[in-house]
Amino acid sequence: MTVASPSPAASAGGRRVDARTLPGPRGAPLVGALPSILREGMFPFLLRCRERYGDAFRVPLVGQRSLALLAHPDAFEAVLVSQRDAFEKGWFYAPARAFVGQGLVTSEGAYWARQRRMMQPTFRPRCIHALLPAMAACVDDMLDVWERRARTGEVFDLYAEMMRLTQRIVGRTLFGVDLGATSQDTTRAVTESIEIVGDRISAGLNIPLAIPTPKNRRFKRALRDLDHLIYGIIEHARRHPDRDAPTLLDSIIAARDEESGESMTDAQIRDEILTLYLAGHETTALTLTWTFAILARHAEVAARVADEAARAESPTPSDPGYLDSLTYIRMVIDEVLRFRPPAWMVGRVATREVAVAGHRIPAGCGAMLGIYFLHRHPDFWDDPESFRPERFTAEAIAARHRYAYLPFITGPRVCIGNRFSLYESALAISMIARRFRVMLASDEAIGLHASATLRPDRPVRVRVAAL
């Protein structure tokens, strides 16, 4: 089913809303569709509803809450751009706020706008280029270990390996700390609290943190350990700014609000760097994992990637000019982000009744922008279940609907780390492809596990062979 274009009334600034009511499952009194969601899992449930109800449908939740799943480019445009004043992040992001406070991902309104203004210069191309040598050093260290693995034929989990890699990269580029080399306690605090937050975000229903369940106590303890670590890092960076190898933290400390001239407090910096740490590693680790898992089954694409990585001119993999010249690898990354978008959905809550792409979204309704569904919309993607990097030639991109492909979303809240991540991915893929072939250790299909991100549903067991 295809959603009709917005009617004139629907697009008139959202004041007069005369649009169709959303179709969708009825659900049981009080608990809505929650029993089905718990039984099937949120993602399979949404896949089934998408098949049945089409581009836009409403799912009743507990009490008066409900959720509208939106999958059409026009709906993305409305929620993220033209009608964005009618939406906030609201209850969607409440579990994350317990962890990252008022960082860029979770804050709203004037406070968010000020923080974004202050953080934006940190992500300028010049600043990202300065981080490339540190990224390359992390990849190099990993590949030295791979030499031994290639000799022994060791099988290892690619996802765990890519998580370690991107955690080290973000640790070094963010705060100049090698998290791979920090104490066991720190690593445990970081991974434990991230896991618990991930669970809280994907569970839908959570026991309030004030109630001392064993899990809540563990979460609070991990958070205390993490705060201790982060405030220590901030204090160290304030006392010893590294002028030769500036980190993202150094530029955040130096940032000034252009209107008031004020800088950020330690508590604000803590929220921002924890946010960047969290938002900045798993998504890229997934991009890299899916890339090599897919290439292992697409020999022709893998050969072209290896060829481009080897043929390109610069001997220095961290040269931005070299990375910009990797046009085929960039097409592969774009297609991976279409096919397996790490952020498979983003959520908003309607603050008033609003018309979106011809449908009425009531006030208080959650709008779930299904990036995974958008990227397979049959009106915009031919044979969406096949992996084809040539969908991303310059001509193909120009011919497509502007909002049909949004792995980093769009509008004022577009991912601030998109350039960081694209450089990091191109760098890691080209460095790996120059030296190794990555092979899956078994023929088993790798399915999807959709929590806050779109993960493989099992370890991605691989072997590597030196070229």
Contact string 110-149 vs ligand HEM (x = CB under 6 A): ------x---------------------------------
> With respect to ligand HEM, which residue has the nearer C-beta, 25 or 342?
342
Any idea what DSSP says for residue 261? -
SS3 content of the chain, % helix, strand, coil (to 5): 55, 10, 35
* Token couple for 448: 């999807």
> CA 207 to CA 182: how far, in whole Å?
32
Minimum distance of ligand HEM from residue 311's CB (angstroms): 25
Residue 284 contacts ligand HEM per CB under 6 A? yes
Give helix then strand counts, H and E, for the chain: 18, 13
Query: Min. distance of Cβ 202 from ligand HEM in angstroms?
Result: 15
Q: How far apart are CA 230 and CA 235, in angstroms?
A: 9
Report CA-CA distances (Å) from 343 to 339, 382, 452.
Answer: 11, 22, 7
Question: Which residue is listed with tokens 């008139």?
Answer: 12
| Cα angle 460-455-157, degrees, rounded to a multiple of 5 | 20
Member of 37, 70, 104, 201 binding ligand HEM (CB under 6 A): 104
Structure-token pair, residue 248: 């993202």
- Please give the structure tokens belonging to residue 346: 């983003």
Task: Rank residues 162 and 343 by Cβ distance to ligand HEM and give the closer one.
Answer: 343
Choose the binding region for ligand HEM from 55-63, 64-72, 179-187, 276-284 (rule: CB under 6 A).
Answer: 276-284
Distances (CA, A) of 374 to 99, 345, 367: 29, 10, 14
Which residues are bridge partners to 68 per DSSP? 58, 367
Among 33, 343, 368, 464, binds ligand HEM (CB under 6 A): 343
Stretch that binds ligand HEM, among 47-55, 201-209, 278-286, 434-442 (CB under 6 A): 278-286
Contact window for ligand HEM (CB under 6 A) among 50-58, 254-262, 403-411, 455-463: 403-411
- Residue written as tokens 């317990």? 98
| Number of residues near ligand HEM (by CB under 6 A) | 22
Q: 17, 269, 274, 276: which one contacts ligand HEM (CB under 6 A)? A: 276
Asked whether 442 and 308 are in contact (CB, 8 A), the reply is no
CB of 55 to ligand HEM, least distance (A): 19
At its nearest, how many Å lie between ligand HEM and the CB of residue 296?
20
Nearer to ligand HEM, 343 or 446 (CB): 343
Alpha carbons 434 and 305: distance in angstroms, whole number: 9
Q: Is 95 one of the binding residues for ligand HEM (CB under 6 A)?
A: no
**Nearest residue (CB) to ligand HEM, 19 versus 79:** 79
Using the contact rule CB under 6 A, the part of the chain among 34-42, 273-281, 291-299, 391-399 near ligand HEM is 273-281
Question: Counting beta carbons within 10 angstroms of the beta carbon of residue 429, is it exposed (0 to 12), middle (13 to 18) or buried (19 or more)?
Answer: buried
Give 157's contacts (C-beta < 8 A, 6+ positions apart).
459, 460, 461, 462
**Three-state secondary structure call for residue 139:** helix
Q: In whole angstroms, how close is the CB of 417 to ligand HEM at the nearest point?
A: 2
**Footprint of ligand HEM on residues 344-383 (CB under 6 A)?**
346
Residue 39 C-beta: closest distance to ligand HEM, Å: 27
- Out of 251, 268, 283, 291, the only residue in the binding site for ligand HEM (CB under 6 A) is 283
Q: Report the residue number, 193 or 283, with the smaller CB distance to ligand HEM.
A: 283
Q: Which of residues 269 and 415 has its CB atom nearest to ligand HEM in the complex?
A: 415
Ramachandran assignment for 330, one of left (phi > 0), alpha (psi -120 to 50 degrees), beta (any other): alpha
User: Residue 135: which of 431, 381, 405 has the closest Cα?
Assistant: 431
Residue nearer to ligand HEM on the CB measure, 247 or 275:
275
Nearest CB to ligand HEM, comparing residues 270 and 413: 413
Phi and psi dihedrals of 102, rounded to 5? Answer: -105, 45
Contacts with ligand HEM, 409-428, as mask; x by CB under 6 A: x---x-xxx--xx-------
Q: Which residues contact 395 (CB under 8 A, 6 or more apart)?
A: none
Q: How far is the CB of 407 from ligand HEM (least distance, A)?
A: 5
> Using CB under 6 A, which of the segments 180-188, 224-232, 272-280, 320-328 binds ligand HEM?
272-280
Binding site for ligand HEM (CB under 6 A): 104-105, 116, 275-276, 279-280, 283-284, 287, 342-343, 346, 407-409, 413, 415-417, 420-421
